[in-house]
Amino acid sequence: MLLNPANRDPAARGRLIGALATLVILWPLFQAAEVKPGALFDSGNLKVIGNFLAAFLPPETGAEFLGYLAKATLETLAIATAGMALAFLIAVPMAYLATGAGREKPTLNPITRSLLTILRGIPELVWALVFVRVFGLGPAAGVLALGLTYGGMLAKVYAEILESVDAAPARALRHSGASRLLAILYGLIPQASKELASYTVYRWECAIRASVVMGFVGAGGLGQLMDQAMKMLNGGEAATILLTFMGLVFSADGLSGWLRRALDTPPANHASPFGWRSIGLLVTLFASIVASFQLLDIGFGELFSAEAAHSIGEFIAGFFPPDLSAEWLAKVAKGIWETLAISVVGTLLAAIAGLLLALPKWRAPFSFILNSLRSVPELVWATITALAVGLGPFAGALALALHTAGVLGRLYAEALDNAPPTPGKALRLAGAPGGFAFLYGTLPGAAPQLIAYTLYRWEMNIRMAAILGFVGAGGLGQLLYFELSLFHHAQASTVIMAMLLLSIAVDQASAWLRQRMR
């Protein structure tokens, strides 16, 4: 029957080629990431990680340490809040310039767009590392780094949200003579406000995790404490800090969930759009921003003084010209390949684990696992996986996989929940076993979203993979960390440019794949 050409699946050849191509691409990437599951069970490694984990109990609860911890926690929250305030200030005008929304002719402002790409493309940790050299150790570097990267991300997403809503109201307003700003305010913001607000809150959640991480390069907060605890293999302290992370992330999660629900309630029936709750929220928001800057003891004046500008300028000048010698470029190319491998392997492992954790019907224990995985930042996971499998790219890929599995698992579970239920139900009514009703009925409906989430996450992971090297997990990060430590700025700038190019290339590849798989 297969001999009859009419009865052959015309798509089979394409699928076979696609599968082979995937294997041919993935195989060397797995090689480069030095995937060796055996290392997980190596007796030496098991002993190290076992001893370390055993030391987790009991968690450190000394009064002195708890005092440090409280101070560091406040500092972390303050860095995140101040950083987000700065990011918001950057993002709003940039988004207005970059978005095609409300324009008569769709113009994508290429200059703002490319500026945003640069801001986003260089990971916040690299900015932090750079700013630490300018402003010295302390939270100012963290706040600036967060502000710049998150400003870039917020601006891009704001611009895209404004472009994605129905353009007709704004167009009508413009045709009746309104300016572009007013057309956006009256025609687009009401449609987009919920999504804008909920994305901003989500980013604040991410900023908390990011500010933890920046402590690792000396920008203060919980990360610095964690770095010290890990370097001294003090399990008890590490355990307490990890628990604090989880508490922070869980409560940020709860708060953002409450805010999102609050945004859904229709406004009360009076002239002012603000009720007591919104006014209370706004006051709290401003108070916490002011308090954050107070606590961190940085004024805007200090950040933007002529002196700071001068030292930044001098510092940046040191990065030019970048080192483009063949020998160094070869080293950087190897770093790029390794970083790419870490990101791909980490994302793939995470997608598999996330899907398995998203499937069970009885959610409670699994969402706890997912939230716990998610609440620990990649860099912190990397310090732990480095103990488990030794330094190197595999530790980085594992760390990425652990954190990303938490993120993707949650998104997958939501997507599967939102997938249309009728196809699967119909198949069960025709006698199909549950698993096959899922594979033939439910999964095809959710697949585009699952793929899109995975690819978006890969775009983020390539940035993360680039910095995991800071804790010895290989790739570009390791190169950058060495060169910056040795004040080899020309070499470092080549690495930063490589990171930027890599993240742009991955963005393009992921957009292409999303297009192909739709």
Partner 1 sequence: MSFRLNGVGLTHANGFAALKGITLLAEKGERIALIGPSGAGKTSLLSVLGTALEPTDGLAEVFEFDQNFWDTSAIKALRARIGTVHQSPPIPGRQRVVTAVLAGKLGQWPAWKSLASLVYPLDIPGARAALERVDLADKLFARCDELSGGQLQRVGIARVLYQQPELILADEPVSALDPALALATIRLLTADAEACGATLVASLHAVDLALGNFPRIVGVKAGRIAFDLPSERVTVPMLHELYASEGEQLPIQAHEPHFLSQAPANDAATRAKCC
**Which residues sit at the interface with partner 1, rule CB under 8 A?**
1, 6-12, 15, 420, 422-423, 425-433, 436-437, 439-442, 444-445, 447-448
Q: For residues 77 and 355, give the distance between their C-alpha atoms in angstroms, rounded to a whole number.
A: 32
CA distances from 119 to 91, 122, 123, 368, 499 (A): 11, 6, 8, 34, 12
- Residue 421: CB minimum distance to partner 1, A: 9
Identity of the residue, 329 or 439, whose beta carbon is nearer to partner 1 in the bound complex: 439
Identity of the residue, 100 or 445, whose beta carbon is nearer to partner 1 in the bound complex: 445
Alpha helices (runs of H) in 318-442, residue ranges in sequence order:
326-358, 363-375, 378-389, 393-418, 422-429, 434-437
Q: Which two tokens stand for residue 95?
A: 């988004």
DSSP character string of 242-271: HHHHHHHHHHHHHHHHHHHHHHHSPPPSSS
Q: For residues 233 and 510, give the distance between their C-alpha atoms in angstroms, rounded to a whole number.
A: 39
Identity of the residue, 281 or 452, whose beta carbon is nearer to partner 1 in the bound complex: 452
- Residue 353: CB minimum distance to partner 1, A: 21
Identity of the residue, 387 or 437, whose beta carbon is nearer to partner 1 in the bound complex: 437
Taking Cα atoms as reference points, which of 106, 109, 96 lies closest to residue 154?
96
Packed helices 443-468 and 124-135: angle between N→C axes, nearest 10 degrees: 30
Identity of the residue, 9 or 264, whose beta carbon is nearer to partner 1 in the bound complex: 9
- Residue 509: CB minimum distance to partner 1, A: 22
- Residue 454: CB minimum distance to partner 1, A: 16
- Residue 424: CB minimum distance to partner 1, A: 8
- Residue 167: CB minimum distance to partner 1, A: 25
- Residue 428: CB minimum distance to partner 1, A: 7
Q: For residues 374 and 409, give the distance between their C-alpha atoms in angstroms, rounded to a whole number.
A: 9
285: helix, strand or coil = helix
Q: For residues 147 and 135, give the distance between their C-alpha atoms in angstroms, rounded to a whole number.
A: 15
Identity of the residue, 18 or 360, whose beta carbon is nearer to partner 1 in the bound complex: 18
Identity of the residue, 82 or 437, whose beta carbon is nearer to partner 1 in the bound complex: 437
By CB neighbour count within 10 A (0-12 exposed, 13-18 middle, 19+ buried), where does 160 fall? middle
